[in-house]
Amino acid sequence: MFDSEPELWKQWINNQFGAGIITWNTPFLFRTKPQGSRLLICGPANHFKANAHPLTALIESDWMTMSFTMNYKLMIPNFPVRFEVGEPLFQAIPLASNTCADLETATVTYQKLEEDPEVNHSYREWDEGRRRFHQQKAKGEVKADDWQKDYFQGRDAIGREAPSDHMTKVRPPRIQFSPTTKAPQ
């Protein structure tokens, strides 16, 4: 059910898959370079909606000439979900390579933590430090909104710095508009 202009919205939203999945037909055609690059399409980061779970897809944006759909799974039948004007529906994350191919050719080894003494030591230090920190918090010795910030500050539990490419914030690129296309108002 739509609050307003149901005929308009029926052009953009449908339930073609059934099973509580609603599909938003987006008006976007993304093209990426180089060949083999992809877009990870998922729900907006840190944005939650009761009863609507965004589904994730990897699209081959290096060659496709069609728009894509964003799908949400409604979890509870007959429970209303409201999407507001201007609310984000998805995010598109560019990936420089074919992640699926990378995954299929990855070497994966299962081993016990104890088999790597250096990582085991670092993890145990972190685990014990985290446990102490939460105990201090429970006793009121640490402010309730404090946190350890090891990862955020780019260091492990024993103080070693992360590689130089450590990032805690992503600065998305500025969208450039072609000479004949105006920015939306």
Does residue 27 carry a pLDDT above 80?
A: yes
Of 23-32, 50-59, 168-177, the one with minimum mean pLDDT is: 168-177
Does residue 167 carry a pLDDT above 80?
A: no
Does residue 14 carry a pLDDT above 90?
A: no
How far is Cα of residue 74 from the mean position of the Cα atoms in its chain? 19
pLDDT tens across 100-137, in order?
Answer: 777 788 787 888 989 999 888 888 988 898 889 889 98
What's the pLDDT band for 19 if we cut at 50, 70, 90?
A: very high
Does residue 95 carry a pLDDT above 80?
A: yes
- The per-residue pLDDT for 88 is 92
**Dist CA 22 CA 165 (whole Å):** 39
Mean pLDDT over residues 156-178, rounded?
79
- The per-residue pLDDT for 49 is 94
Does residue 184 carry a pLDDT above 80?
A: no
- The per-residue pLDDT for 1 is 56
pLDDT tens across 36-53, in order?
Answer: 888 999 999 999 999 999
Yes or no: say if 68 and 41 are a contact pair by the CB < 8 Å rule. yes
Q: Percent of the chain scored above 90 by pLDDT?
A: 29
Mean pLDDT in the chain? Answer: 86
**For 65, phi and psi rounded to 5 degrees?**
-120, 30
Beta pairing class for 52-54 and 69-74: antiparallel
- The per-residue pLDDT for 2 is 62
**Dist CA 63 CA 173 (whole Å):** 21
DSSP for 76-143 reads STT------TT----EEEEESS-HHHHHHT-------GGGSHHHHHHHHHHHHHHHHHHHHHHTTSS-
- The per-residue pLDDT for 85 is 82
